[in-house]
């Protein structure tokens, strides 16, 4: 299996939606732009939240098994994907790519 690197590329925060719909949360996310994780096999890397992993895991598995070229050439690097976690209030965007 190939190693897969996950890099935090961008973080958004929708305060208007949080104010209107979310119950107050003291601490919601430990990510920071530029943070990286390396996946060997298909185990969730330590420090990556469960919600983000649920989104990323199928893509990580395909890349680790040598797959790629998602959606007929969507990405310039066919062995990568740009994905976001499913938090509608503070989505985090990740670059997932195979590494040597």
Ranges of each domain in the chain: 3-99
Distance CA 92, CA 100 (A): 25
Distance CA 19, CA 93 (A): 22
- What are the residue ranges in the chain where pLDDT is below 70? none
Query: Which pLDDT score is estimated for 73?
Result: 86
In this prediction the pTM is 0.92
Contact between 48 and 37 (Cβ < 8 Å): yes
Query: Which pLDDT score is estimated for 79?
Result: 94
């Amino acid at each position: 299996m190939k190693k897969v690197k996950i890099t935090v590329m961008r973080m958004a925060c929708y305060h208007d939606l949080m104010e209107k719909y979310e119950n107050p949360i003291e601490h919601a996310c430990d990510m920071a732009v530029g943070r990286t994780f390396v996946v060997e096999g298909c185990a969730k890397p330590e420090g990556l939240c469960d919600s983000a992993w649920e989104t990323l895991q199928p893509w990580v598995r395909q890349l680790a098994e040598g797959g790629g070229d998602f959606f007929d050439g969507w990405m310039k690097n066919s062995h990568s994907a740009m994905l976001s976690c499913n938090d509608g209030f503070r989505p985090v965007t990740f670059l997932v790519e195979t590494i040597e």
